[in-house]
A and B are shown apart, each in its own frame.
Chain A
Amino acid sequence: MKVLVPVKRVIDYNVKVRVKADGSGVDLANVKMSMNPFDEIAVEEAIRLKEAGKADEVVAVSIGVKQAQETLRTALAMGADRAILVIAADDVHQDIEPLAVAKILAKVVEEEQPGIVLAGKQSIDNDMNATGQMLSALLGWSQGTFASELDIDGDSAKITREVDGGLQTISVKMPTIVTVDLRLNEPRYASLPNIMKAKKKPLDEKTAADYGVDVTPRLEIVKTEEPAARAAGIIVGSVDELVEKLKEAGAV
């Protein structure tokens, strides 16, 4: 079985985001970019499937700007076998919407015929939490979102999902799309020898046009602003003072 893992290049989760003064978006020039943390978990899970003998090939795919190559090299260094880069934008500030990403991924799935697609539950830049579900809809496949456990057994898979009320376990028909949550696994770090080896692994380059997908955004960005700041608070000296302040504020 082949595993397809879509990985997204996003602003590193430790970077303090700066909104551009003209309201056009978030400043992404010269900031540290990394693989979306959820996608690291997806890559790790794919590699573990291969190590467990349940998968024979792991293919990472990224859609975006040319620089997403680096993200794919990270996936290869972690243990993916090969990578596909679909160039869909020239400017690092132009992001591709989940619907367009899902349409491109659907074409990649047609070509590659994976038995499972492992995506992140959400990307930490736009927080849409949508791509996996959309891909599943376009393919008419089953979906298992927010997975904290995955157990593939022949033509079905058992998936435990993190939901508002606790945990839900479902069984889905293969092939399937799984979106991974934080507690599925702890991703490994790529070792230096593996980083070197990754440079020689195959990385195919395509464009959105090769797949005949129109990536024109459906959502027009009217403006991007800083959220309203909170008024400064105070440091209290004791529990007594805290209780007094809370009473004054009518909070208790």
Chain B
Amino acid sequence: MAVLLLAEVTNGELGLDATAKAVTAAKQLGDVTVLAAGASAAAAGDAAAKIDGVSKVLVAEDASLGHRLAEATAALIVSLADGYEHIVAPATTDAKNVMPRVAALLDSMIISDASGVVDGSTFERPIYAGNAVQTVKSNDAKKVITIRTSTFDAAGEGGSASVETVSAAADPGLSSWVEDKVAESDRPELTSAGVVVSGGRGVGSEDDFKLIETLADKLGAAVGASRAAVDSGYAPNDWQVGQTGKVVAPDLYVAVGISGAIQHLAGMKDSKIIVAINKDEEAPIFQVADFGLVADLFQAVPELTEKLG
């Protein structure tokens, strides 16, 4: 049984962490071929060939595949689909854009955000913001799956897969890229960081969000935020953790001024250790916290930053 895995490629570079985690899930399904697609993707393909458990890499380079536009990328995957029983990708926003389109073109029902592999056709996935876990069995000939990366460990390096080039499918010409607004940061990436410090509405302003960032930098952490903090303009959208933002499972998650709505918990409750700092002792976040501190964040956070030194 063969698996085609769409690698996470951003501007020619491999998203190693997300791709390697998806490889861990895909290995349980069969022989893994990785597809690296983009305007430039050769370097990403070479990097993917080193992931342990990858047996072959296909590289597709074409202007139409740049910026991961859904229509051209889906057409490419469908053109390669023969001979694969599973088509998988890490559940990033890129893959969530592309894979349901692939599934519909193959007349398969997508399995989104699989958090567990039971067997070749049976998968676990969280529903209702993680308040329930459903086991589903697919009866489709081709199974199209996105993998929730936070529940799989990354496959190691040391592989030496062969690399082949393939050509892009005809460009449907339905969409074009205009611009990206990406904040450059030296901090670790949110979904792969070992430590995440998140701020909520309680932080009160964009300026005061610096308190969160300073604590994060002290811990070498990524910075996250609740939806309320993003909606209020304290933090950019790509910091949102939750049901409709990013799902993280770091070794340590520090929630500051966050009440703990189920939609937020959905994105962080699989973290190993959770710390909550909130002035309201009734806040639901304390129900999932390993260590809770009932305190005013404006005193507690600077003190914590200092004492961690």
B-binding residues in A (CB < 8 A): 11, 13, 16-17, 19, 26, 97-99, 102, 121-122, 124-131, 133-138, 140-146, 148, 158, 161-173, 181-183, 217-227, 230-231, 233-236, 238-240, 242-243, 245-246, 249, 251-252
CB of B113 within 8 Å of the partner chain: yes
Known A-B contacts A145-B96, A170-B177; the reply to A251 vs B273 at CB < 8 A is: yes
A127 to B67, Cβ gap below 8 A? no
Q: Is the CB of B293 within 8 A of A143?
A: no
Residues on A with beta carbons closer than 8 Å to the beta carbon of B136: 219-222
Query: Is A251 touching B128 in the complex (CB atoms < 8 A)?
Result: no
Residue pair A133, B97 in contact (C-beta under 8 Å): yes
Dominant SS among interface residues on chain B: mixed
Q: Which residues of A contact B300 (CB under 8 A)?
A: 239
For A99, give its contact among B98, B109, B177, B272 (CB under 8 Å): B109
User: Are A246 and B275 in touch, CB under 8 angstroms?
Assistant: yes
Given A171-B175, A240-B307: A164 and B292 within 8 A (CB)? no
* Contacting residue for B304 out of A17, A161, A219, A242, CB 8 A: A242
Interface contact B178-A227, CB-CB below 8 Å:
no
Enumerate chain A residues within 8 angstroms of B110, measured Cβ to Cβ: 98-99, 128, 130, 134
Chain A residues positioned under 8 Å from B1 (CB to CB): none
Contacts from B to A (Cβ < 8 Å): 10, 67, 69-71, 74, 92-94, 96-105, 107-113, 118, 122, 126-140, 172-183, 191, 219, 227, 230-231, 236-238, 243-244, 246, 251-252, 262-263, 269, 272-275, 281, 286, 288-295, 300, 303-304, 307-308
> For residue A239, which residues in chain B have a CB less than 8 angstroms away from its CB?
293, 295, 300, 303-304, 307
Select from chain B the residue with minimum beta-carbon distance to A249. B273
- Chain A residue nearest to B173 (CB atoms) is A173
Checking B126, B178, B290, B304 against A234 with a beta-carbon cut-off of 8 angstroms, the contacting residue is B290
Cα A227 to Cα B139 with chains together (Å) = 25
Contacts of A218 in B (CB 8 A): 108-109, 138-140
A182–B227 touching, CB < 8 Å: yes
Q: Which of A26, A164, A233, A249 has the most CB of B within 10 A?
A: A164
A153 to chain B, nearest CB (A): 12
* Contact assessment for B292 and A234 in the assembled complex, using a CB-CB cutoff below 8 Å: yes
The residue in chain A whose Cβ has the minimal distance to the Cβ of B91 is: A129
**A78 shortest CB reach to chain B, Å:** 20
Contacts A166-B238, A169-B178, A222-B118 known; 18 new A-B pairs at CB < 8 A: A11-B128, A17-B128, A26-B132, A99-B107, A124-B128, A124-B263, A136-B70, A137-B103, A143-B101, A162-B238, A163-B94, A163-B238, A168-B181, A224-B127, A224-B134, A239-B293, A242-B293, A245-B291
Is A137 touching B105 in the complex (CB atoms < 8 A)? Answer: yes
- B101:A134 contact, CB within 8 angstroms: yes
- Tell which of A137, A230, A249 has the most Cβ of chain B within 10 Å: A137
Q: Which of B133, B227, B244, B308 contacts A225 (CB 8 A)?
A: B133
Cβ-defined contact, A242 with B275, below 8 A: yes
Q: Do A219 and B138 touch (CB < 8 A)?
A: yes
CA A163 – CA B245 in complex, angstroms? Answer: 9
**Contact residues in B for A252 (Cβ distance below 8 Å):** 219, 252, 308
Chain A residues within an 8 Å CB radius of B293 = 235-236, 238-239, 242
Chosen A-B contacts, 16 in total, with CB atoms closer than 8 Å, are A11-B128, A26-B128, A99-B108, A133-B99, A134-B104, A136-B70, A137-B100, A142-B71, A146-B93, A166-B180, A171-B175, A182-B227, A221-B134, A226-B131, A233-B288, A239-B300
Closest to B74 in A: A137
Asked if A168 meets B70 with Cβ closer than 8 Å, knowing A148-B237, A227-B130, A233-B274, the reply is no
Cβ contact within 8 Å between A130 and B103:
yes
Closest to A144 in B: B175
Q: CA A227 – CA B103 in complex, angstroms?
A: 28
